[in-house]
Amino acid sequence: MNEELIHPFTFGDMSQKDLLGGKGANLAEMVRIGLPVPPGFTITTHACREYLRTGQMPSRLNDQIDAALKDLEMQSGKKFGGVDNPLLVSVRSGAKFSMPGMMETVLNVGMTPEVTESMAASSGNPRFAWDSYRRFIEMFGKIVCEISPDEFHKVQERITSSSSAENIQNADGESLKQLCDGFIKVITLATGREFPQDPREHLIRSIEAVFKSWNSERAQMYRRRERIPSDLGTAVNIQSMVFGNLSDDSGTGVAFTRNPSTGELGRYGDYLQKAQGEDVVAGIRTPISLDEFEQLSPVVAGELDSVMELLEAHYEDLCDIEFTIEKGKLWILQTRVGKRTAEAAFRIALQFVDEGRISMDEALRRVSGDQLAMLMFPQFDTSGPLHEIARGIAASPGAAVGEAVFDSKRAFDLSKSGKRVILVRRETSPDDLVGMVASQGILTSRGGKTSHAAVVARGMGKTAVCGTDAISVDERANLFTVGVTTVYEGDLISIDGTTGAVYLGDVPVVASSVTSYLEGRLSATSDEAAPIVKAVDRILVYADSKRKLRVRTNADTPEDAIRARILGAEGVGLCRTEHMFLGPRRSYVERLVLAENDDVQHSVIAEMEPLQRADFVGIMMAMSGLPVTIRLLDPPLHEFLPSLVVLSSEMARAEALHEEVSPRDRALFAAVNRLHESNPMLGLRGVRLGILIPELYKMQVRALVHAFLEVRKLGHDPRPEVMIPLVATQRELLYLRQTLEEEIAKTFKGSGIRYEIPIGSMIETPRAAITADRSGVYSDFFSFGTNDLTQLTWAFSRDDVESTFLPRYIDLELLPFNPFESLDEAGVGILLRTAVDLARGLRSDFKLGVCGEHGGDPRSIHFFNSLGLDYVSCSPFRVPIARLESGRASVIT
């Protein structure tokens, strides 16, 4: 096989992310448009996939690396492994999809003690040379040799404490040389072998470490969260080093072409003088802003502004840029389309529309339902007394309250036990991802707007306050101090990622301005409306104009129906009538089951009818002029009756103590024992209950007709539909439909009103899906109950698997995601597609919808749109999200 596994940065462009990874493709693009990029080459994702498959570096890769290094030496006039004028390189990961901080980087590869001495002499700056070597040894030890960072911190503390330096940044060349010796001893002791001195071995092992990092725990967790496929692999970028730690007119930074937190116009970013790139991202030092950098170096700042303008115009999007300045010379190390908060996504998309750079369709593609959901989260109520103890950099907006926790693993464990936690660290590293995911928010004492904590939090939609210099974090003692206040682990704190404020205690929250707008309590045109409200309004109105899917709601009460209609629902797609008999009304179902004979049973049903009628009146009035789909009773009996285990225990106890048992309790025990089912979800429920107790469903349609007449009399426009649950065969449907039609006609008789109430069925079983052409003859519409359909297709009991093996399956990537959260298109999706094709084969206008929880899931909505369904139905809160995603589905090809 003669496949090229390496390409120079002069090869390719930004469209080749599959081959070159995101970083490599963007480096090639920047070279193509003439930006100052340090030369280098990219090892393709194909090489990584081969390594992951075989566990060995591809045999042909070695020769290709040698050839690429020779080309790089010719370009730079330097020699890799040479002592005089040495070529040093960085080794960086670069997957197709951005995974900031999740994989590895090794800088200054090519350094040896001899090279360091030569650099110290040629630069006249021993501190710079030994600092660069120190960085390489530490990275090599942590990443390649997999040694705990704590081992290096111990050496660092010992060296700095024995010198006049307060920290590593103030250490002189001699102290740094001692530090290098100490680090090498740590590696030798940990690995049982001498520290290698061959630069080529350093390079090969660093490349292999980057390949391995694709499957690191944090990388896998990030991919699961972001739904990134696990089989893509990463490219590796080998780039000539430029040194931001060389001199006073050197430094490194990260710049965004617009504010990725708020979406405001203007440069945004951080700069560190005399530093290398990882210092900014790691948050080890608190940087200065780009405005301060302009005062420090106006000429280079002007050059950076020009690069930012060029890249933003070229990519037609917010750009995230890493740069280094070496002795006054600007170098661009990488760029990518920048991650941003939900607010920034909406505002920036519309800014680009108004600037004439993109269309409204493209603006709609650049926002998401998940982002809209984030904007609907509550905010702090600052009207009452507050105890603000510090203020840091507002790195990722939101309001987060929780117990202060100083260790990522502990944060994960506490969160899993149900506690709200705030992860507090001096600075975060990629190893903290597990705690960051589990926490309500992140608070750091160091770092800036582009630190690891800030970038990852923005990408995940987590609240973050960084660079809070006033607090002193002691991670060993599990506390932080600010002034005279000490906050211990377990103390409640509140952080505001919009203002940067840190409060002691639990600050109450209020609805966000976006939620107030969506619920009709704030007009988007009012003076009080924030820019984000106006942006959401504009995009949501446009999404409504583009979408083909209608959006209904799942509502069981008039209050839910009213709320959903305000939020934009176009009817009720699922009214679960069994939910009307939970709580105080539960006794009706219990009495129905315990009925000794038909007369008693009919008496209980008669008592239920006026309750149903009143509920139906309220819901149809709230949805006047819009369809309301009433699902007939579908009560798994175990949800309404006492537990057989509990009752058996009580009966046994009573007998043992010779206590008297009431006739009612004996009757209840006998009934529960008689009706006990090993798997109630597959037992007497849905259509089966309606067939065995026909008076029950007849009562429901009578109540619905009476409610219809009452609502019509009040001047409203009721549009009810009846839906039969858990149908598996057309014979069930035909049998029950005839019974219901007769009862509906009988109830309408004498009213002087003729109205055809559509009768449809839920598709919840695989058999119903694959025989949809048969039941479709007797059904006016189908609604896919994807919750039960998923359970039955996978043979998963949702109540059980989500708390037992399903999380482990996802961890092992045996499942790419929870199929109850997003629809399994490859399995359940085939059943839906089959049913759609069969139904539309009967009637081209056969009405089809979805009423499971997937109806509000952004990813699933795109699949439903591709099937040509008529509507989705979801909870009231998710109606705006479904509206937005339905619009996006129409413009995304």
664-692 residue pLDDT tens: 778 777 777 777 666 767 777 889 988 88
pLDDT of 347 reads 97
For residue 873, list its beta bridge partners: 552
Confidence of residue 658 (pLDDT cuts 50, 70, 90): confident
* Residue 551 to residue 573: CA distance in whole angstroms: 8
Residue of 269, 875, 307 lying closest to 576 (CA atoms): 875
* Residue 441 to residue 402: CA distance in whole angstroms: 8
* Residue 552 to residue 570: CA distance in whole angstroms: 5
pTM summary value:
0.83
Average pLDDT over residues 479-507: 93
Q: Are strands 441-444 and 421-425 parallel, antiparallel or unpaired?
A: parallel
Q: Are 423 and 400 in contact (CB under 8 A)?
A: no
Q: Environment class of residue 873 by beta-carbon count within 10 Å: exposed (0-12), middle (13-18) or buried (19+)?
A: buried
Q: What is the pLDDT of residues 197-248, one digit of tens each?
A: 999 999 999 999 999 999 998 898 888 888 899 999 999 999 999 999 999 9
* Residue 480 to residue 472: CA distance in whole angstroms: 5
* Residue 306 to residue 301: CA distance in whole angstroms: 9
Task: Write out the E strands in 426-539.
Answer: 441-444, 463-466, 472-474, 479-482, 485-488, 492-496, 501-504, 509-510
Residues with catalytic function:
452, 851
Residue of 484, 479, 416 lying closest to 443 (CA atoms): 479
- Both tokens of 807, joined, read 């999380």
Confidence of residue 290 (pLDDT cuts 50, 70, 90): very high
* Residue 258 to residue 260: CA distance in whole angstroms: 6
Backbone angles phi, psi at 661, to 5 degrees: -110, 130
Average pLDDT over residues 82-101: 93
Residue of 428, 235, 289, 107 lying closest to 441 (CA atoms): 428
* Residue 97 to residue 883: CA distance in whole angstroms: 27
* Residue 290 to residue 253: CA distance in whole angstroms: 9
CB count in 10 Å sphere of residue 118: 17
- Both tokens of 778, joined, read 């007797």
Element (H, E) at 872: strand 871-874
- Both tokens of 348, joined, read 């920036």
* Residue 816 to residue 814: CA distance in whole angstroms: 7
pLDDT of 639 reads 63
- Both tokens of 267, joined, read 């440069």
DSSP assignment of 207-262 equals HHHHHHHTTSHHHHHHHHHHT--TTS-EEEEEEE---TTSSTT-EEEEEESS-TTT
Q: What is the mean pLDDT of the chain?
A: 91
For residue 761, list its beta bridge partners: 724, 782
Average pLDDT over residues 62-81: 95
Average pLDDT over residues 70-93: 95
Q: What b-and-e string marks burial along 385-394, b requiring 16 or more CB atoms within 10 Å of the CB?
A: ebeebbebbb
pLDDT of 701 reads 96
Q: Are 638 and 669 in contact (CB under 8 A)?
A: no
Higher-pLDDT residue of 634 and 618 is 618
Q: Are 188 and 194 in contact (CB under 8 A)?
A: yes
Average pLDDT over residues 400-411: 94
Q: Are 41 and 12 in contact (CB under 8 A)?
A: no
* Segments in 251-321 forming alpha helices (H): 277-282, 290-296, 298-315
Q: Is 43 helix (H, G, I), strand (E, B) or coil?
A: strand
Q: Are strands 550-554 and 572-576 parallel, antiparallel or unpaired?
A: parallel
* Residue 887 to residue 851: CA distance in whole angstroms: 19
For residue 748, list its beta bridge partners: none
Confidence of residue 165 (pLDDT cuts 50, 70, 90): low
Confidence of residue 801 (pLDDT cuts 50, 70, 90): confident
Question: How many C-alpha atoms does 740 have within 13 Å on its Cβ side?
Answer: 30
Q: What is the pLDDT of residues 387-399, one digit of tens each?
A: 999 999 888 878 9
What are the angstrom distances between the C-alpha of 723 and each of 702, 709, 845?
14, 19, 18
- Both tokens of 399, joined, read 């309001």
Q: Is 337 helix (H, G, I), strand (E, B) or coil?
A: strand
* Residue 222 to residue 63: CA distance in whole angstroms: 34
Average pLDDT over residues 783-794: 94
Least confident residue range of 515-524, 781-790, 843-852: 515-524
pLDDT of 811 reads 79
* Residue 872 to residue 807: CA distance in whole angstroms: 28
Residue of 217, 142, 226, 218 lying closest to 186 (CA atoms): 142
Least confident residue range of 236-240, 335-339, 811-815: 811-815
What are the angstrom distances between the C-alpha of 303 and each of 77, 199, 443, 863?
26, 35, 34, 46
For residue 493, list its beta bridge partners: 402, 504
Statement: residue 586 has pLDDT above 80: no
Instruction: Work out the angle at residue 148's Cα, subtended by the Cα atoms of residues 146 and 153, and round it to the nearest 5 degrees.
Output: 135
Statement: residue 116 has pLDDT above 80: yes
Instruction: Work out the angle at residue 374's Cα, subtended by the Cα atoms of residues 372 and 377, and round it to the nearest 5 degrees.
Output: 115
* Residue 316 to residue 318: CA distance in whole angstroms: 7
Q: What is the pLDDT of residues 175-198, one digit of tens each?
A: 999 999 999 999 999 999 999 999
Least confident residue range of 169-183, 652-666, 816-830: 652-666
* Residue 266 to residue 289: CA distance in whole angstroms: 12
pLDDT of 850 reads 97
Q: Are strands 550-554 and 871-874 parallel, antiparallel or unpaired?
A: parallel
Integer distance in angstroms from the first to the last C-alpha of the chain? 36
Distance, C-alpha 7 to centroid of its chain: 34
Distance, C-alpha 11 to centroid of its chain: 34
Residue of 625, 631, 633 lying closest to 711 (CA atoms): 625
pLDDT of 596 reads 76
What are the angstrom distances between the C-alpha of 635 and each of 349, 684, 853?
46, 9, 18
Statement: residue 638 has pLDDT above 70: no
pLDDT of 242 reads 95
* Residue 439 to residue 411: CA distance in whole angstroms: 7
* Residue 738 to residue 741: CA distance in whole angstroms: 5
pLDDT of 222 reads 87
* Residue 110 φ/ψ region, left for φ over 0, alpha for ψ in the -120 to 50 degree band, beta for the rest: left
| DSSP secondary structure letter of residue 556 | S
The amino acid occupying position 56 is Q
DSSP assignment of 139-176 equals HIIIIIS---HHHHHHHHHHHHHHSS-SSGGG--HHHH
Contacts of 329-333 with CB under 8 Å at 24 or more apart are: 329/36, 329/242, 330/36, 330/300, 330/303, 330/304, 331/36, 331/37, 331/38, 331/242, 332/30, 332/35, 332/36, 332/37, 332/307, 333/37, 333/38, 333/239, 333/242, 333/277
